[in-house]
Structures are given as C-alpha cells and as structure tokens.
Amino acid sequence: MSLSTSELESKHRPLLDQALAATRSRDYFSAYPESPSPRVYGETAAADGKTAFESLLGKEFPLTTPGASGTVATEKSPFGLPLDVAYSRVAPDGLDALLSAARAGMPGWRDAGPLARTAVCIEILARLHARVFELANAVQHTSGQAFVMAFQAGGTHALDRGLEALAYAYDEMTRHPRTAIWEKPGRDSPIRMEKTFTTVPRGVALVVGCNTFPTWNSWPGFFASLATGNPVVVKPHPGAVLPLAITVQVAREVLEETGFAPDLVSLAAEDPADRLAATLATRPEVKLVDFTGSSAFGEWLEQHATQAVVFTEKSGVNTVVVDSTDSFRGLCSNLAFSLSLYSGQMCTAPQNVYLPADGIETDEEHKSYDEVGAGIAAALDKLIGDDKRAVELLGGIVNDGVLNRLESLPPSARVMVESREVRHPAFDDAVVRTPAVLGIDASDTDIYEQECFGPVSYLIATSGTGESLQRLRSTVTEHGAMTASVYSTSDEVIAAARSAALDAGVALSENLTGPVYVNQSAAFSDFHGTGANPAATASYTDAAFVAPRFRIVQSRRHI
Amino acid sequence: MSLSTSELESKHRPLLDQALAATRSRDYFSAYPESPSPRVYGETAAADGKTAFESLLGKEFPLTTPGASGTVATEKSPFGLPLDVAYSRVAPDGLDALLSAARAGMPGWRDAGPLARTAVCIEILARLHARVFELANAVQHTSGQAFVMAFQAGGTHALDRGLEALAYAYDEMTRHPRTAIWEKPGRDSPIRMEKTFTTVPRGVALVVGCNTFPTWNSWPGFFASLATGNPVVVKPHPGAVLPLAITVQVAREVLEETGFAPDLVSLAAEDPADRLAATLATRPEVKLVDFTGSSAFGEWLEQHATQAVVFTEKSGVNTVVVDSTDSFRGLCSNLAFSLSLYSGQMCTAPQNVYLPADGIETDEEHKSYDEVGAGIAAALDKLIGDDKRAVELLGGIVNDGVLNRLESLPPSARVMVESREVRHPAFDDAVVRTPAVLGIDASDTDIYEQECFGPVSYLIATSGTGESLQRLRSTVTEHGAMTASVYSTSDEVIAAARSAALDAGVALSENLTGPVYVNQSAAFSDFHGTGANPAATASYTDAAFVAPRFRIVQSRRHI
C-alpha cells in the first residue's frame, strides 16, 4: 500500500464538505473548472492530453480484466479519425471469473467504511481530472461531441456529477451514528444496549454506458455504487469504450495503491453480438444496474433484471410550449442553440415545439406560425451558417442510426429548416449535419409521439396554448421526457405550465432567452431527469439514486 | 374543512422534531406509552375500547369504498370469538373505479407540501392512538396475539414505527430547499436563476397486509407512501381486516376534515378467491407496493410488479449460534421466551439453534447438547407450564396452516420439547399450543433450510462453533433471515459472528440473557430487516424505505 486512506481522507475532506453543502443548498457549485483555457490548465495541458490520447490509438489498451479472452476493437470516430484501440474481450463464458473476482474484494472494501471509500473515490476523480484533456479527446472521438463540449460535458461537468453522487452517497451512509447507546427506562433501572450500524454493499453493480455520453451518464452510478461498497463492472457501449477504459484504469490504479482489490472495478468490453449487458444484468450476483440508452432495452432491463435495483435513463419526447415572449430574438437564438448543440443528440434536446397555429404575441409584433419558423431558421443560420464555426457546436453524427433517421424524415411533414451537410475543416471524413425543423400539425401524433433521436425537431401547430399544455401533459405522461420548457409573458400560462409539468413529472425551464439552455443541467443544482415519467427511473442526483445501493446491518449487545 | 393543516402543523411539529432527532441518534424514543395500565390511559380506557370493538362485531363496517359491490366477511378469531364483520368487497371489476378515485385526490395532496402532509399523517396516528384499546382487541382477535402483545406490537409499537417512517419521509422530502438561487459566475456578470423543487408522488401505493401483524407491518409503508403524496390502497389479509379497516376509517376521516380527498386512502377487502393483490400490484397506476407475507408471493411480486417499486418482507430461517455463555439460566430463559412469544408466529422468532454436538462451556459447568435441550425445556416449563399464564404469552394459533405444520413434524427429528395444547381460561374455542423443540443434525438440511413458521425450532448439532457460523452464513445468504443471535464468552467468536452477520446481511443480537429478546425490534433504534438477504427487500425504517416513494420535479427561471 503506497497511499494511505487516512491521507486521502484528510486531503479530500474539504472538497467533500463543500460538495455536501452544495447538495443541501442546490446553489451553484463546481469543483472542476470548465474552461479548457491554458490560463486554467497550463500552457501544455491541451497538447499533452492530445498526445496521451494519440499514444493509445492503434494498440491494445493496457488493462487487466479477469475472465477476459482475446480482444475487441469496436469504436469508430464520428470525425473519421482511425482509432483501432483493442480491449480485452469479456465473452459470456468469462463472466463467472469476472464476477467472482469482483466479489472477492467486497469485505475489505466494506470494512474500510464510508469515509475511506468516499475519499478513494474522490482521489479517482482527481486523477481523472488530471487526465481531462486526454479524456476529452477520447469522448470527442467516440461520441462525436465537439472538443469543448467533450471537455465540459464529457470531462469537468461529468466530474462534478460524479462528485455530486459521492456527496449524496456519503450523506446517506452517515446519517446514522456508527454506534448508538440505547437506554430504555425500566421499572428498577434502565435497560442499556450498545448498537452498531454498518453499511454493507448490495452486490455487484453493473454500469451500462451509452454512445453519446460515455462518462457523464456513467459516472454518477459508477461512483454511487462504488462508494457504497459495491464492486462495479462497467459494460461500455461498443462505440464508446475508451473513456470508460480510462476510467476503469484510473480506478484500479487508485484501489491498488490504497491496498484494495483492483478487481473491484473492471471493464467488460464485448463483441456486440454477445449482447453481454443482458446476460450480465440478470446474473444473480448483480444487484444494481445503471443503464443509459434505448427505451426498448431499458424497459427490458426493468422487467427482467428483477434481482437488481435498476436505474434507467431512456428516451422521451422533450417538449417546448411557445405561448408568447418578451424577447423573440432571445427565444429564437436560445432554441436554435438547443437544437444545434451536439446535433440534438442529447437526451435533453428539445424535439416537440408546440405553438398556436395562429401565431404568438412577441415584443416585436404578432408573429405568425410561419414567422416563428422563419425566426428560428434565421437564428440557426446565424449560429451555424458558417461551417468552421458550425462544427464546434454540432460535433459529429454519432452513428448510422441517427443519419438514417435524418435521411428518412416523414414525407407528410413540411420542411421548415432543411438539414445540410457540413464540411469539417480539420477532419475530412467527419459526418456533420445541421438540424432539420419540420412543420406538422397537432393531429400528427404518429410523428411526434416518439423520439426521433438526433437533429430533428417539430414545430407543432396547435389550436392554442391550452392544447399545447394538454399535449405536453399527455405526451410526457405516456412517452416520457427529460426536459420541458415554456415561453410566455402570462403569469397564468406559466402557472398552468408548472402545473402540467408537475402532473407529467418533468423538469420545466421558463423563458430561456439567455445563456442557459434547456438541454443543459448543472450538477449540484439541476436534477437531471425526474424518474417520474417513462423517460427515466432515476435522477442525478437525489437520495433515491443512492439510498438503495447499500444496506444497514446492525449488531446489538447489553452494556 | 373543519380542521386547518396549519393548526395540525403547529400541533404536531414538536413531536415531529423529536422523532427526527431520534432517527438521527437511533437512541431510545417512544411517543406512545406501551403500558396499557389505567394509570397511563385512564380507568375506563380498556373497557371503553373493548366496548367499541364489540360494537363493530356482527355488522357491516362503516366505510365508503369506491368501486365496491356487496360485502365479504372472512375473519376468524384464533380465540374462537365470533366476529362476523362484513366489509365492502372490492372485486376485480371494481378496480378501475377504485384506482381512479384514489388518483383524483393526488394534485391537492401533492400541493399541500411535505409538512402539511406529514402533520395530517401524525394526526391520523394520534386518532389511532385514541382508539388503541379498540385496535388492540381487533389485532388480538384477528392475529391471535395475546392482549398485551396486541396492545403493544399491534398498537403503540406500531404507532412508533409509523411515526418513524413519517420522520424519515419528511427528512428526505425536505433535504433540499423549496427554492434555491443559483448564481454562476460569468464573464461580465453572474447568471442568476431561481429554481423551485417540488416533491411529487409516484402514483398509487398498494399496501398488502399480513395475518399476524396487520398494523405493525403495514403502517410503515402506509404512512411513508401517504406522507410522500401517494394515494394508498390497503389490501388486508382476509384473516385480519378489522385493524386495517379502522386504520382506513381514521385516515379518511382526517383527510376529509382537513379538506383533502378521503379516497386518497381506501380499503380493498376481497373474497380470497379473487387474488386481488396480484391483480392490483400489476396495475399500471400502482407504483409502490408494500408486502408482508410468504416468500412465494413476495418473490412473485418482485418479479411481476415491475412497474412499481416493491418492498417485501417474506420469510427466512432465523438463526441462533450457541457457543458458550456466562449465564446458562439467562440463555435458556431468554431463548424460551423468544420461542414462546406469540407461539413463534413472528418473522423474527428464532428457528435454527446451532450448538456443538459435544456441548458448551457455561457459568455452571460444561453442558452437553442434551443438557442444553433440557435447560431450554425447563425454562419453557417455568415460563408456560401454567395454562393461565401461558396464554398471555402464547396467544392463539393464527390459522390452520400453522397448526398443520405443528402436527406434521419431520419424523426423523428427535422431539426434545413436545408441543402441548393449552386450554384458554377465557375462550373455550381458542387454539393455543406451546412450542416444540426438535433435535436434528447439521446434515439435516432438508429440515432446517426452510422456514417452518410457527412454534417449531431446531437444536442443530454441529461439529463446533466454526461450523455453526458457517451454517449461519450459508443458510441466511441462501434462504434469508430477519434475525440472528449469538451466545459466546469469547471475543474471537463474537467477532467472527459479526463478520458472518455482515457477510450474510442479517442483524445480530449478542448474548441476550436479560429482558431484551431477539424477536423484538425497537422503533427508532433497531432496523427491522436489512434488505440484504432473501428474507426482505426493505428495512423499517431507513432512507431506502422512503426515498423511492417520491420524485423531485424542478422548475427554473432567470431572475
């Protein structure tokens, strides 16, 4: 053991305390600076990170995986950069060895206690932070996020979310004293007992990563499960392995240095034909599953992994209700940004924009339905009309599924803004597209009552805001949503929108016309997802996300 | 509205604060005096409660139930008292009406907020407490618990558990501010937003009651779900409807007086042939299920009610490891009490008592295996040798299932203490039995690796304490347990027992030789069940028991 846990406890306790305070206030807090500027990270940080990333390409990734045999290389950069990183492959016949190795370290990790485990996890975050430029490159070239977004959403913001999950987990694990004296008044003398409460893990935790946000969506569950004492098996999306391979590498390194079993964390890279996630998720040893991805597989997990607690984030139909605005320009440019960011390949990107068929009142003048469409088109043109600028916002199209959807849009819809191919100045083979905006009617439910993941949104003409809100309520209740937003200058409409959002169980943003976008959620302040509608069964991060990950075992004795 | 919620908030806030403090300290706390003495409750309280109970017999219970048609009368007193209480019957075709009525009151109940809901729930507890003698009679004559136990376990201790669940629920609902200001430092000026966090319910909560502890096992889930905003449908065990009918009656009365929809709480009494619990638990409207009962149905629920969060308490093999003792008399009398209390018809009663085949060291002398058996037999004889005293501890046999098991004990086992029929001095038709203790060998796994619910326990001869602890670990891990206990004078053995209990995920009691029994758990101090072994997926009460019952929905706006 080259690093003592008590050292780590002292080192990270101040940050933990700050994070704990932030979870209580839900005020602004960030531990990992989001600006990739040399002024923050040093002159050579960006280049060093890029070099570190490049040194991993075309090779076998150095990681020990119990039960693995052979390798797989399944990633493809949306920017066209050849990756060819090979990972130890876990085949179904290797799962016994993998899970048994994972479980072997549990007693030692459990006995270390909440503070030591949390401090070890914060050290893992610190080491990931030290490799944040390398991670940003890895996220960029697997997810297709543009670099700055990959640095933030895939790096520093993801680190903040990880820390947030740790703070909640630590708080719940320590809400009871380690030892309590129980003294019951008795007839003659009191009855006294000493009671000891120990948090114990549930079992093996499985984290199933996604292609678009391999770190941001995986780290909360990863750290919540690990801090509460559970070994974690990470099953990355075959298209986004590298960011999670680095995560597992760092975690194993810190576990080993602190004297714990490195096999408490392992990477289960797969040949996609193996459908390893389904097999793993239903193993009796697996007691926790965190999944981000399709509704189809998410629902399958909820229905079949009944031996485990399953946390899912799936898909939904994110909704915007446009009633009126005191800043038509602000509305259009804010919405244009939300539609463009990472080509709408975010679980939080708006899709269904309801507005009255006869238009809306604005600060400029009454705007007809078509004029609203034109306003958004103009804002999009301003934002991403220039290819060189556009690529830094749009990023690349993550996979063929998204591209296919974009190329087979519903023929009955009116194209209000056409999608176009964008040429990336740095990567010839990058696949970059601008968002399409389609005009449809409220009766076209077959089009908009399902998620069209990617750069596609609908301007849906309704009979008025009353119908818009009713559609919000019904579509979100039935099909789910991660986000909703409303634009209105009327207090009554805002109140009605809040009420609809509460009924439908979706987070609401009101009148975003400035530098905050509906698809962005800030760690320690915004809850990501609610778990109250079909889009997700979990929220980053609340007590329900962490409390079921451990149990309390007591012993009692007379004193 | 004849009663304002703000009045109730002021009235019950001090008790809530005390309860909150107790959940944090896990020290001794009780809000409802456990002694049924006239000095505590007044000279006429006992008689008045009995009269109130008797006035309910032979009649239709006055309770409105949406969707009900006709009545059912399914209860049978283990003491032979004719009950003949008829309840509105909910048949499967009435569920649409029942669930829709339950859901109709949700927005108003949600909008009242955590403190008002919690105060209303504490008022329900207060009114149940005012009817505690009536409830004790109802529990006695449905479960078969002797009167004092029915008063405590079915009355005051159950009230304490209900309050405990409320305190945890309130604490979790209020860990975040209702409104937070988020101020992110910006290049020129900070970005400021106001964020509002609202707790919203999950949906309809189903509470499935059991025959033996209709109130104690139902109230934690009932109050946790109700306080977090969910309507609650109570499906009582057909053999123990009355205590929950009173519960529902009181809850509806308080809801109505405070201006909420009384249909937020309803009783779904059934014809047992309808198997209503299975139908209800898998309805899409039902999002929470609390169940106490058989492992078979509990596991069915866990596997099939996948649209809901399912909290179960099932069965297990509670374990005692006897290694050595400094009070042989204390050991025997403590164990005898635990075996006798309510004829072992407790989910916490010991069943598997492991001891070395070659006996144990004690304060008196070395005791052989047979001498330990004889010591327990003598203690049982002293405790329940006299019929008149015995019935006050044993109570009645709850149903024919228990009786049948007692009458078909494994023939290969050696009877060390025989069960006998006890004549109840007050109830001629009461079915009362003393516990049987059987001698078997550690190899008789087919006998002791399953629960034999009722007054049957096994003295299991092992090769030594090492094997005893290994059996504890393996049987509890595979078959579950609500309790474990150990007797030893050796620090090493106690440490090994603690380690085995942590691995198996079961609560451990050490060297109980006085007035605390392994089958008793004190609200606010002892966690009941761990959720960490197959006997239960939940614990009364911890954060994991309450946090998944609500969601947080936020709205945010620039300021």
Mean pLDDT of A89-98: 97
Taking residues B455-463, report their average pLDDT.
Answer: 97
| Half-sphere exposure for A10 (CA within 13 Å, toward CB) | 4
Range of the domain at A299: 5-14+66-177+203-314+538-558
B405 and B444 in one domain?
yes
Residue A180, CB-side half-sphere exposure with 13 Å CA sphere: 24
Cβ–Cβ contact B195 with A under 8 A: yes
CA-closest candidate to residue B442, choices B331, B352, B533: B352
pLDDT for res A1: 55
Q: Supply the pLDDT for residue B2.
A: 81
Closest to A256 in 3D by CA, of A245, A266, A242, A269: A266
Contact B26 A177 (CB under 8 A): yes
What letter would DSSP give residue A435? P
Query: Is the same domain home to A242 and A300?
Result: yes
Distances (CA, A) of B158 to A95, B77, B129, B244, B524: 45, 21, 10, 12, 12
Judged by phi (left if over 0) then psi (alpha if -120 to 50, else beta), residue A24 lies in alpha
Nearest to B262 by CA among B94, B104, B68: B104
* pLDDT computed for residue B342 by the predictor: 97
Q: Which residues in chain B have Cβ-Cβ distances shorter than 8 Å to A281?
A: none
Residues of chain B found within 8 Å of residue A542, distances taken between Cβ atoms? 176, 547, 552
- Asked if residue A496 and residue A432 are part of one domain, the reply reads yes
Let me know if residue B29 belongs to a domain.
no
Q: What is the mean pLDDT of residues B166-192?
A: 95
pLDDT tens, position by position, B34-55 = 999 999 999 999 999 999 999 9
**Same domain assignment for residues B121 and B136:** yes
User: Is-contact A374 A384, C-beta < 8 A?
Assistant: no
Closest-approach residue (CA) in chain A for B282: A303
Residues B310 and B323 in one domain: no
Question: What whole-number percentage of chain A has pLDDT above 90?
Answer: 99
Name the closest residue on chain A to residue B181, using Cα atoms: A27
- Residue A536 to chain B, least CA–CA distance (Å): 11
Closest-CA distance, A54 to chain B, in angstroms, reads: 33
Establish if B511 touches chain A: CB-CB under 8 angstroms. yes
Q: Is there a domain that residue B37 lies in?
A: no
On whether both B376 and B443 belong to a single domain, the answer is yes
- If you average pLDDT over residues A93-99, what whole number do you get? 98
Interface contact B509, partner A, CB < 8 A: yes
Nearest CB to A555: which of B306, B508, B513? B508
Residues of A in contact with B303 (CB under 8 A): 306
Does A394 share its domain with A471? yes
Contact by Cβ (8 Å): B102, B211 = no
SS3 A361: strand
- Does B181 sit within 8 Å of A516, measured CB to CB? no
Cα separation, A170 vs A16, whole angstroms = 9
Our separate counts of H helices and E strands in chain B read: 21, 19
Per residue in A125-136, pLDDT (tens digit) is 999 999 999 999
Q: Does A4 touch chain B (CB under 8 A)?
A: no
What is the arithmetic mean of pLDDT over B79-84?
97
Chain B positions touching A183 (Cβ under 8 A) are 27-28
pLDDT at B548: 98
In angstroms, the CA B401 to CA B344 distance is 14
pLDDT number for residue A186: 86
A182 in contact with B at a CB cutoff of 8 Å? yes
CB B65 within 8 A of CB B90: yes
Task: Evaluate whether residue A466 is within a structural domain.
Answer: yes
CA distance A239 to A229: 29
Which CATH number belongs to the domain containing residue A476 in this structure? 3.40.309.10
Instruction: Tell me the shortest Cα–Cα distance from B547 to chain A, in angstroms.
Output: 5
User: Which pLDDT belongs to residue A95?
Assistant: 98
Within-domain flag for A302: yes
Same domain, yes or no: A289 and A260: yes
Which of A25, A192, A482, A555 would you mutate first to test chain B, the one with the most B CBs within 10 A? A555
Which chain A residues in 70-109 lie under 8 Å from chain B, judged by CB atoms? 107
Which of B149, B148, B133 minimizes the C-alpha distance to B42? B133
A506 contacts in chain B (CB < 8 Å): 553
User: Are the C-beta atoms of residues B184 and A28 closer than 8 Å to each other?
Assistant: yes
Number of domains present in the structure of chain B: 2
**Is-contact A224 A545, C-beta < 8 A?**
yes
A223/A110 same-domain check = yes
Q: Give A306's contacts in chain B (Cβ within 8 Å).
A: 302-303, 306
How many pairs of residues across A and B have Cβ atoms under 8 Å apart? 190
What separation in angstroms does the CA of A437 have from each of A212, A350, A458, A473?
A: 22, 11, 6, 22
- pLDDT value of residue B186: 86
Yes or no, beta carbons of B525 and A200 under 8 Å apart: no
The Cα–Cα gap between B116 and B6 comes to 7
Do residues A304 and A325 both lie within one domain?
no
Q: What's the average model confidence in pLDDT over B153-169?
A: 98
Is A194 within the bounds of a domain? no
Asked if B530 is an interface residue toward chain A (Cβ–Cβ < 8 A), one would say yes
CA B260 from centre of chain: 28
The reply to whether residue B555 touches residue A509, judged by beta carbons under 8 angstroms, is: yes
| pLDDT at B357 exceeding the cut of 90 | yes
Q: Look at chain B and count its residues.
A: 559
The whole-number pLDDT of residue A188 equals: 86
Verify that A289 and A326 share a domain, yes or no: no
Cis amide bond preceding A541, omega within 30: yes
Find the CB nearest B28 among A182, A527, A547: A182
B 400-459 → A contacts, CB under 8 A: none
- The kind and range of the H/E element at A379 are helix A369-384
Query: How do beta strands A484-487 and A319-322 pair?
Result: parallel
A230 pLDDT tier (thresholds 50, 70, 90): very high
Is B449 domain-assigned?
A: yes
Rounded to whole angstroms, what are the CA distances from A129 to A24, A122, A224, B196? 24, 10, 18, 31
What is the average pLDDT across A281-306? 97
Domain match, B372 and B487 both: yes
**Residues in contact with A5: Cβ distance below 8 Å, sequence separation at least 6, in sequence order:** A112, A116, A119, A120, A258, A259
Residue A188 belongs to some domain of the structure: no
pLDDT confidence bin for A117, thresholds 50/70/90 = very high
Q: Which pLDDT belongs to residue B1?
A: 55
**What is the rounded average pLDDT for all residues in chain A?**
97
| B440-466 average pLDDT score | 96
| Interface contact A526-B175, CB threshold 8 A | no
Residue A321: is its pLDDT beyond 60?
yes
**Judged by CB atoms within 8 Å, which residues 197-226 of A form the interface with B?**
197-198, 200, 202
> Can you give the three-state secondary structure of A137-205, one letter per residue?
HHHHHHHCCCHHHHHHHHHHHHHHHHHHHHHHHHHHHCCCCCEEEEEECCCCCCEEEEEEEEEEECCEE
Mean per-residue pLDDT of chain B: 97
Q: Domain for residue B235, yes or no?
A: yes
